[in-house]
Amino acid sequence: MSTDLKDFQPLFGEAKAELEAATPHALLPFLYIIQALDGSKLRVQITDFHSNTWETVKTADQLEQLRDEVGIGGSWHDFLSYLGAAFSSDNVKLILGGPTSSVGGYGATFAKFTAQKSKGMPRVSIYLKKLADPLASDAMGNISVEIFRAFKQKSDALVMAEGHLSQMSVIMASEKEKTEQLQKQLETYGFSNKKRGRKVASSQSIYPPMRDTSLQSEIDATPLQTQTPPETSQPLVLGKPPTVKSKARAAPASRRAKQRGVHLADNDD
pLDDT tens for 15-60 read 998 888 766 677 889 999 999 988 889 999 999 998 899 999 999 8
Interatomic CA distance for residues 67 and 59, integer angstroms: 12
Identify which of 107, 116, 102, 115 has the alpha carbon closest to the alpha carbon of residue 44. Answer: 115
Q: From the CB of residue 33, how many other CB atoms can be counted at a distance below 10 Å? A: 22
Identify which of 103, 127, 123 has the alpha carbon closest to the alpha carbon of residue 113. Answer: 127
* 110: Cβ contacts below 8 Å, ≥ 6 apart: 96, 97, 98, 127, 128, 129, 130
- CA angle, 85 then 91 then 97, to 5°: 125
For the chain, what percent of residues have pLDDT higher than 70?
66
Pair 45, 129: CB distance under 8 Å: no
Mean pLDDT score across all residues of the chain? 77
Given CA atoms 59, 64, 69, 72 in this order, what sign does their dihedral have?
A: positive
Residue 84 or residue 215, greater confidence: 84
Task: Domain 11-152: give its CATH code.
Answer: 2.170.210.20
Pair 143, 31: CB distance under 8 Å: yes
Q: State which H helix or E strand residue 24 sits in.
A: none
- pLDDT value, residue 40: 84
